[in-house]
Structure 1
Amino acid sequence: MSTIATTRPSTEAAPTGPPSRDRKRRRRREALPLYLAISPFYVLFAVFGLFPIVFSIVLSFTDWDGMGDISFVGLAQYQYLITDTRFWNAVGNTFIIWFLSTIPMLFLAMVIAFLLHQNIRFTSFYRVAFFLPNVTSMVAMAIVFGSVFSDTFGLINSALTALGLDTVPWLSSSWGIKITISAMVIWRFTGYNAIIYLAGLQSIPTDLYDAAKVDGANLAQVFFRITVPMLRPIILFTVITSTIGGLSLFTEPQVLLGNSGGAGEAGMTIVLYQYNQAFTEFDFGYGSAIAWALFLIAAVFAIINWRLVSERSPRTPRRRAAAEEARR
């Protein structure tokens, strides 16, 4: 007579406590190569990114020429910055140049992207041609613009003289300098923003454009009633990045006019003034204070632009229903 051995299921619960020390060590050994693989980025960021940021904050509360001892002066650098007329002149120049360059630049970029999105020939050639100024050497560009806007032998003044008009002191007057720098910014970054807008246009459903054509809408109506509303997130991105870039303008005035900022410091921007104080006057404490003041100004204007553009964005059906329910 054979007996059948039966096994009863074990009623002992699996261990639910913390893993054993061996298991922890094994996990650490398995994760170590992964952490070593990504460690170069964090090391470089800590050395060349995080440390300069923290050190600049510390320097803004000190008086240091880069060689002697660092002396702590508290808020003295910021107190002097508030009363510094040269700093506020640089702030005014920066905002004027930003206004003269950013608004025309973004509008032209939108129009160019809209035209490139149409069914035209040689689209790839036009994309490369419009993007080419963004990768052109700034020194070469400054030489070209210096020749075009020169007071004596400039191409523009030569054309004005041929037409019997008075010449314009582009590089020796306050508004002439600002217009010249703004023209450089527009020429350099219009194609860059146009490529960004073109990428956004390609994500818009073509059914909207087909329906507009069936209804008899012209290009202007399609542009302002379909393209612009659908591109509000892209417009928000370009407005914020252009604002930050415009407030931190340095290369164009420095290469074109030098560290002096031109006649009457008309081309002296905030970053150029900060560069002069830190690396020409060797006042690193005050230069750091200017840098953090610029950071606050850029942050405030980025928030303002974000609020202005985002609040005008079209509401989704859920947001529209919630708004109607709130009114009731």
Structure 2
Amino acid sequence: MATTDLHTVTETKRDLRRQRLGRWDVKASPYVYIAPFFILFAIFGIFPIVYTAVISMMDWDTIRNTGSFIGFENFADVLNDRKFWVALRNTFSIFLLSAVPQILLATFIAAMLDHQLRAKTFWRMGVLVPFVVMPVAVGIIFSKLFADESGLFNQWLGMVGIEPIRWHVNVLASHFAIATMVNFRWTGYNALILLAAMQAIPRDLYEAAAIDGAGAVRRFVSVTLPQIRPTMIFVILTSTIGGLQIFDEPRMFDSAGNGGADQQWLTITMYMYNIGWGDLNFGKASAVAWLLFLIIVVFSLINLLITRKFIKSDSPGGK
């Protein structure tokens, strides 16, 4: 009898332990699964940001790998540097010439691919091919296409009696050429993201709109755009961040890679690179990085507010 009671008590304790482990597993296991990402993000994301902020306030000695605290002097030097403001102008000009047409064209392509096309898989894969091409290859090819004298585009212009454009001298022309390179690479990528959102829209909504007499354009404006609103916000934000961080295309636009003889297409990231690895002034380069970070945050928030205002959701659960 005593042996049976002891066995029962032991089993009861085991059941209690299993229950505790089960409750702990349910509560703790999600945190364990996501912990590796946050640990890696803290090491390779948060730590470099904080470390850059510290260096930006120091006169950094690259030989001894130490520095003396100088406060906001690096920021003042950057803001008083003419090249910074030229680079800022160029960055925003290239960003506007690339991001706006890119999003409009990507939305149009996605809407066309959402229809029942023959060989639709081929067309959907085809729009992603430019994104697979290496940025360096794209830069080299387009720098030849936009060559000042013997470039293909200038040859086409000559056929219709238009004077050749000096793509590597004129400020606006160089920005247009670089924006064309950016659009070539990223339009198809954004189109596929928007296409995925469009295909998730219930077809019943289109059928109901068609029964109510809505045409193709009306269905697109009243059904498609509100339904893909979260994806559109994502595409606009990523395009803003990527556009303000542009580096590869302007860097490869000529053989020198310095942003032009008079900084015609020098961008913020190129300016930061030249200071950090050209002048070996890591403190000033870190200050530029933080100024760029603040600019991106501000304009991303502005884009978010504008997008939410003009792309309103008409779905029952929309806000």
Give the match's secondary structure for 2:253: helix
Instruction: Give the deviation of 1:319 after TM superposition.
Output: 8.1
Max Rg structure: 1
* Structure-2 residue corresponding to 1:290: 288
Query: Which of 106, 110, 114 pairs up with 1:113?
Result: 110
Query: Which of 298, 304, 318 pairs up with 1:300?
Result: 298
Q: Quick one: distance in 1 between partners of 2:58 and 2:75?
A: 11
Conserved? CA contact 1:77–1:285, under 8 Å: yes
- CA change 1:217–1:38 in 2 (3 A) is closer
Q: Quick one: distance in 2 between partners of 1:229 and 1:262?
A: 43
1:100 aligns with 2:97: yes
- CA change 1:159–1:270 in 2 (3 A) is same
Give the match's secondary structure for 1:276: helix
Matches within 5 A, 1:1-328: 44-68=40-64, 69-257=66-254, 258-312=256-310, 313-314=312-313
Identity %, equivalent residues? 40
Instruction: With the length of structure 2 as denominator, give the TM-score of the two structures.
Output: 0.84
Worse-superposed segment, 67-76 or 186-195:
67-76
Instruction: Give the deviation of 1:81 after TM superposition.
Output: 2.1
Instruction: Give the deviation of 1:82 after TM superposition.
Output: 2.2
Instruction: Give the deviation of 1:307 after TM superposition.
Output: 1.2
Instruction: Give the deviation of 1:39 after TM superposition.
Output: 7.5
Worse-superposed segment, 164-173 or 278-287:
164-173
- CA change 1:40–1:235 in 2 (3 A) is closer
Instruction: Give the deviation of 1:311 after TM superposition.
Output: 3.0
* CA-to-aligned-CA distance 1:106-134 (integer Å, 9 cap, x gap): 00000000000001111111111111111
Q: Quick one: distance in 2 between partners of 1:111 and 1:74?
A: 49
Instruction: With the length of structure 1 as denominator, give the TM-score of the two structures.
Output: 0.82
Conserved? CA contact 2:226–2:315, under 8 Å: no
5+ long unaligned stretches in structure 1: 1-22, 321-328
Give the match's secondary structure for 1:264: coil
Q: Quick one: distance in 1 between partners of 2:274 and 2:317?
A: 53
Considering only aligned residues, what root-mean-square deviation do their CA atoms show, in Å?
2.7
- CA change 1:230–1:315 in 2 (3 A) is closer
Instruction: Give the deviation of 1:214 after TM superposition.
Output: 3.2
Worse-superposed segment, 70-79 or 259-268:
259-268
Instruction: Give the deviation of 1:41 after TM superposition.
Output: 5.4
* CA-to-aligned-CA distance 1:79-127 (integer Å, 9 cap, x gap): 2222222111111111111111101000000000000000111111111
Q: Quick one: distance in 1 between partners of 2:248 and 2:285?
A: 17
Conserved? CA contact 1:149–1:156, under 8 Å: yes
- CA change 1:150–1:44 in 2 (3 A) is same
5+ long unaligned stretches in structure 2: 1-19
Q: Quick one: distance in 2 between partners of 1:225 and 1:316?
A: 10
Conserved? CA contact 1:201–1:227, under 8 Å: yes
Q: What residue identity is the alignment partner of 1:207?
A: D
Conserved? CA contact 2:227–2:315, under 8 Å: no
